[in-house]
Amino acid sequence: MLQLRVPRMRLSALLSCAGVLAALGGCASDPPAAKSEAATEDSVVAAEARVPASRPVVTNAAAAEEAAPPVVLTGEYAAYPAARALVDRLVRVHGLDRAELTRAFSRLQRQEWILDLVNRPHVSPAPGPTGAWTRYRARFITPGRIDQGVRFWREHARSLERAEARYGVPPWYVVAIIGVETHYGANVGRHKVINCLATLAFDFPRRSDYFRGELETFMVMAHDEGFDPFEPVGSYAGAMGLGQFMPSSFGRFAVDFDGDGRRDLWDPEDAIGSVANYLHGQGWRAGEGVAVRADTRGGAARALKADYTTSYSLSALARLGVTSRIPLDGRREVSLLRLDARGGYQYWLGLHNFYVITRYNHSTYYAMAVHQLADALRKRRHGSNILTRREGAGALSPF
């Protein structure tokens, strides 16, 4: 059976998660829903025995429900057709209990601060170079984050090796993602996921379809896994655990990597397996590199579109004066990446696995921060010989 829980070891650090363990831990083997159904059946039978023959007899649970006054949606979303429609859908498509859902949706609390955050006017970046990449990089690639990453790696070396054997993703990329996402679990978020998802699903029109889907998945998850949907905490966007998985990612990619029968996004071992499985599921190619520095001649590169979505042949780039610092297969398609570094633009070529990292977060800078943190972790822990030893050809070392 699948479970979502917060491990005991994290309680001291995650006070706001304390309720998660209390509420979810008890659901491991005996979901309360099963008990209450049995109790209802028993009480109906008992009621039938007591009711005089002249009175109408309640013969089944459905009739009992019909007789009971309907539970009406109240609270902040009472007047929201989208909230009522989602309840209807969860009942119709997923077979969830209407009264239970209505009570839960009546307790939702809109988070105005999230709406303020996501509705902030977009400020177009000043024409560069302004050093934006240098500032971004400095947030994630620090001596402290490298030290802590190496410690996390050492502590979970066996799980990381197992994840590489199963999914083909090297430990340093898994550690780097967890490092960038949550500082190795130190910052997993402290907001009630259900309220965050509801706020974005019902009051953020630009992404409401996406967040309605995530809220739907989350409610189904809570039902299937047997946890109280008001317990899990996460980021303001509803991302959970060490790897900051959205509910849909949990459904598709989370794995029970320590074999205790639970997929636990807050458990380092399950998080390691789940992050590696996520990258594997998005098409990670074992043994291939991620990105390589490029040299540029002339000014043509500056006029080219450059981000992780672009695709150029190396020969076309070479004609425009953009060349890889290490030899690559001449037929390989790459993306052109332009980093607004202090002192001038820096150019890189993104390989397939760079694109795979952007499936975690659709941003060139994000994927490059993961790549460079991974590289720093690898060098710190293993020096430069690791790739020659582990990958054989040593073709990745220049990356």
Please give the positions annotated as active site. 181
What burial letters (b/e) apply to 209-226, b meaning 16+ CB within 10 Å?
A: eebbbbbbbbbbbbbebb
Q: How many CB atoms lie within 10 A of CB 39?
A: 10
The minimum distance between CB 265 and Ca ion, in angstroms, equals 10
The minimum distance between CB 241 and Ca ion, in angstroms, equals 12
Q: How many chain residues are in contact with Ca ion, going by CB under 5 A?
A: 6
Q: Which stretch binds Ca ion (CB under 5 A): 86-94, 218-226, 248-256, 299-307?
A: 248-256
Rank residues 5 and 212 by Cβ distance to Ca ion and give the closer one: 5
Q: Classify 64 as helix, strand or coil.
A: helix
Which residues in the chain belong to E strands, given as ranges?
Answer: 191-192, 233-234, 291-296, 312-313, 322-324, 333-341, 344-350
Establish if 25 lies at the interface with Ca ion (CB under 5 A). no
C-alpha distances out from residue 363 to 150, 278, 309, Å: 25, 17, 10
Establish if 258 lies at the interface with Ca ion (CB under 5 A). yes
d(CA 173, CA 282): 14
d(CA 100, CA 123): 43
Q: Which stretch binds Ca ion (CB under 5 A): 92-100, 190-198, 249-257, 278-286?
A: 249-257
Q: Which stretch binds Ca ion (CB under 5 A): 26-34, 183-191, 261-269, 310-318?
A: 261-269
The minimum distance between CB 251 and Ca ion, in angstroms, equals 16
CB 231 within 8 A of CB 24: yes
Rank residues 158 and 206 by Cβ distance to Ca ion and give the closer one: 158
d(CA 161, CA 54): 72
Rank residues 268 and 289 by Cβ distance to Ca ion and give the closer one: 268
Establish if 262 lies at the interface with Ca ion (CB under 5 A). yes
Establish if 28 lies at the interface with Ca ion (CB under 5 A). no
Establish if 270 lies at the interface with Ca ion (CB under 5 A). yes
Q: Which stretch binds Ca ion (CB under 5 A): 269-277, 303-311, 326-334, 342-350?
A: 269-277
Establish if 260 lies at the interface with Ca ion (CB under 5 A). yes
Tokens of 8: 């005991």
d(CA 210, CA 216): 10
CB 58 within 8 A of CB 47: yes
The minimum distance between CB 283 and Ca ion, in angstroms, equals 25
Residues 200-219 that bind Ca ion (CB under 5 A): none
Establish if 225 lies at the interface with Ca ion (CB under 5 A). no
Rank residues 260 and 288 by Cβ distance to Ca ion and give the closer one: 260
Which residues lie near Ca ion (CB under 5 A)? 256, 258, 260, 262, 264, 270
